Structures are given as C-alpha cells and as structure tokens.
C-alpha cells in the first residue's frame, strides 16, 4: 500500500504540467493553430519563473506565496513568447510547424547563453522550498488525505482548479464556442461576424499562458525549482502534444491522458522501489521509453476516428473560399 501511495504522490506533480500544457495546446489547436512550440513556451515560462524565484528567495516570503507569484510571472512570460508564434502563424500566415520548431530551438540556446554569462552555470539554481509535507486538516482524512494532501506541491491543487476553469471557458461561454468554430470552419465563423484573427491570437495566447505556467510547475514539481538549458523540460512539451491527441482535444479526456502518461513516467523512475518490477530485471530504459511507445500505439489505433480540428494548421486567409 505504501508503494501505491508513493506512486500517486509522485505522479500528481508530474501529471499537472502535462495537463496544463496539453490544455494550452487544446486551446491553440481548437482555434486552428498547431502549437508545436509548447516545449519552448514551457521552458521560457519556467526560466522566468525560476528567475523570479531566484530574485525573491532572500526576502523571507513564504514559499507558497512565492510559488503563486512565480506562476503569474511564468504565465505572463509564456503569453509574451506565444505572441511570436501567433504573429508568424496568424498575421504573417507562415508555416506553423516550422515557426514552432524555431521557437523550440531558440530558448534552450538563449538560456544557456544567459546562464553562462551571468551565473557561469548551465541554468538557474534556486533553493526555495515548495514541498508540502502535509496540509493541515485535509491531510488527516484517511486514504484520500494520504493520496492527495500529503507530500505534495501546491501546484496540484492549482492545476486542478485551472482544469475546472478551462472546461467552463471551453464549453460554457460564448468565447469558447467561437474559438471552437474558428478551428473547425473559419470561413463560416467569419461570415457570422467572428474575428478569426483575434480568436486565433486568443487561442495561442491562452496556450502561452498555460504553457508558461505548466513549465514553471514542471520546474517546481519535477526538478526542484531549478531550470537547466541542456535538459530543458525533457520533452514534456512534446509529450503534452501526445497527451492532447490522446485526449482527442477534449479537456476531461486530456486529464485522464495526462494521469496515464504521468503514471508511466513515475513507474519508469521508481522501478527499483517496486519489488515485482525489479525482479523482472528489465533495463530501466525500456520503462523510460514507455510513454513514447504508448503514444505511438494509441495513435495507431485512434487515427482512423481522430477528432482533430478540421482547419488546424491552415493559415486563415479571408480572400480564399
């Protein structure tokens, strides 16, 4: 039972960045823009979040408040970076995949450049403690308390809160409906007076905010508040894309997909602690490959009835009918 608790407690801080970034990707793609730059946006947000934490960590402010403030900084940073994508993809009608790739390439190099110049290291190291041993009252609930409110990070609760907001925006507001229309049939949306360019900027912007926050939460929950230019966010942005496709561009399914991927990853890194798996004697690398192989298997089976937004990847041009 302890192993089970351990797995869940370790899985949630990993699942939350995946969830948030995949939700961001969902907003972007449902508005019609393929966002392959999620990896870069995550790293950009994580970098500025960590820079903020680094600047503020000497002042003695409570770690949880620092986390919330850092989250806003990271979200803003991600938003600004995503503007580069929306400018190229929406205004300039450039190829969205290529632009995204260039944005992904830019950030690790920029971080290495910056960190080598000012910290003479490969990244930013902070020593803020975000870890929560046990939340008062809630942590005392039997089983549930141990699963969700002990040995965790504040990011888990914030992430689930964001999920609720995302579902409401996506399905219950006029904005959400219009956004989805722009991803399916932009010309129809335009004909009833929706500003497609604005909606696409909004979709990419939301993905920037969520991507930035997701990146910061990754650095909090997985790498202990540090950001490194070499390892970056270890392909989490790409995994989030897979989570989004696995979740068929729908928020609740994305939650389950994120949990599934996070579980596989946690399992890969804790094989030694699980007697059953350890006895099998399989190389740990195979477990590390599991999330990627699972993606391929899932894609192979679901591609025939894929619910991808119809107009994604096609720049909107008013004059083309």
Partner 1 sequence: MQDKNRSSRKSMLNLENLTHSKGFSAFTAALLAVALGLIFGFIVMLVASPGNALQGFNYVLLGGFSRFGNVLYFATPILMTGLAVGFAFKMGLFNIGASGQYTMGMFFALYVGFMWDLPPGIHWIVAIFAGMLGGMLWGFIPGIFKALLNVNEVITSIMFNYIGMYLVDMWIQSNAVIYVSSKSRTNYLPSTVQIPSLGIDGSNVNFGILFAVIIGIILFIVLQKTTFGYELKATGFNKHASAYAGMKGKRNIILTMVIAGGLAGLGGAFAILAPSAIAGSSMTYEPISIIAANGFNGIAVALLGSSNPIGIIFSSIFISHIQRGGSLANLVGFKPEIIDVVIAVIIYFSAFAMIMKAGLAKFIKTRLKKQDHSKGLNEDVTKGES
Q: Which of 199, 209, 207, 205 is nearest to 316 (CA)?
A: 199
Residue span binding partner 1 (CB under 8 A) among the ranges 57-65, 90-98, 145-153, 218-226: 90-98
CB of 28 to partner 1, least distance (A): 15
Q: Which residues have a Cβ under 8 Å from the Cβ of 301 and sit 6 or more positions away? A: none
Distance CA 165, CA 184 (A): 22
CB of 289 to partner 1, least distance (A): 5
Distance CA 253, CA 22 (A): 11
List 140, 289, 310, 317, residue binding partner 1 (CB under 8 A): 289
Nearer to partner 1, 158 or 294 (CB): 294
List 8, 16, 46, 88, residue binding partner 1 (CB under 8 A): 88
Which residues, listed in sequence order, are joined to residue 152 by a DSSP beta bridge? 132
Is position 99 an interface residue for partner 1 (rule: CB under 8 A)?
Answer: yes
Please report, as residue ranges, which positions from 113 to 142 form the binding site for partner 1 (by CB under 8 A): 113, 116-117
Distance CA 16, CA 95 (A): 30
List 18, 202, 245, 264, residue binding partner 1 (CB under 8 A): 245
CA geometry: angle 97, 165, 26, nearest 5 deg:
15
Is position 293 an interface residue for partner 1 (rule: CB under 8 A)?
Answer: yes
List 3, 61, 64, 93, residue binding partner 1 (CB under 8 A): 93
CB of 34 to partner 1, least distance (A): 8
How many angstroms separate the Cα of 61 from the Cα of each of 7, 57, 69, 114, 186? 31, 7, 11, 26, 47
For the record, the structure tokens of 126 come out as 């902070």
Binding site for partner 1 (CB under 8 A): 36, 84, 88, 92-95, 97-99, 101-103, 105-106, 108-110, 112-113, 116-117, 229-231, 235, 238, 241-242, 245, 283, 285, 288-289, 292-293, 295-296, 299-300, 303-304
């Amino acid at each position: 039972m302890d192993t089970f608790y351990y797995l869940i407690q370790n899985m949630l801080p990993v699942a939350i960045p995946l969830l948030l970034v995949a939700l961001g990707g969902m907003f972007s793609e449902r508005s019609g823009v393929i966002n392959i730059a999620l990896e870069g946006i995550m790293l950009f947000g994580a970098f500025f979040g960590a820079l903020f934490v680094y600047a503020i960590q000497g002042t003695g402010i409570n770690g949880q408040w620092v986390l919330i403030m850092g989250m806003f900084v990271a979200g803003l940073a991600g938003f600004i970076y995503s503007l580069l994508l929306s400018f190229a993809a929406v205004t300039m009608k450039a190829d969205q995949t290529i632009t995204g790739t260039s944005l992904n390439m830019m950030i690790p190099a920029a971080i290495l450049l910056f960190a080598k110049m000012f910290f003479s290291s490969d990244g930013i190291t902070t020593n803020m403690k975000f870890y929560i041993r046990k939340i008062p009252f809630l942590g005392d609930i039997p089983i549930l308390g141990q699963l969700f409110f002990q040995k965790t990070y504040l990011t888990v609760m914030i992430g689930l809160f964001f999920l609720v907001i995302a579902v409401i925006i996506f399905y219950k507001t006029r904005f959400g409906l219009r956004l989805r229309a722009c991803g399916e049939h932009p010309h129809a949306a335009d004909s009833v007076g929706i500003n497609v360019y604005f909606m696409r900027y909004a979709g990419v912007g939301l993905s920037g905010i969520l991507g930035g926050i997701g990146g910061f939460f990754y650095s909090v929950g997985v790498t202990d508040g540090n950001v490194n230019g070499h390892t970056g966010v270890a392909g989490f942005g790409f995994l989030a894309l897979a989570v989004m496709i696995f979740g068929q561009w729908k928020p609740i399914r994305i939650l389950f997909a994120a949990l599934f991927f996070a579980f596989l990853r946690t399992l890969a890194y804790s094989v030694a602690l699980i007697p059953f798996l350890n006895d099998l004697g399989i190389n740990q690398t195979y477990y590390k490959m599991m999330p990627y192989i699972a993606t391929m298997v899932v894609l192979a089976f679901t591609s025939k009835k894929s619910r991808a937004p119809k107009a994604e990847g096609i720049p909107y041009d008013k004059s083309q009918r």
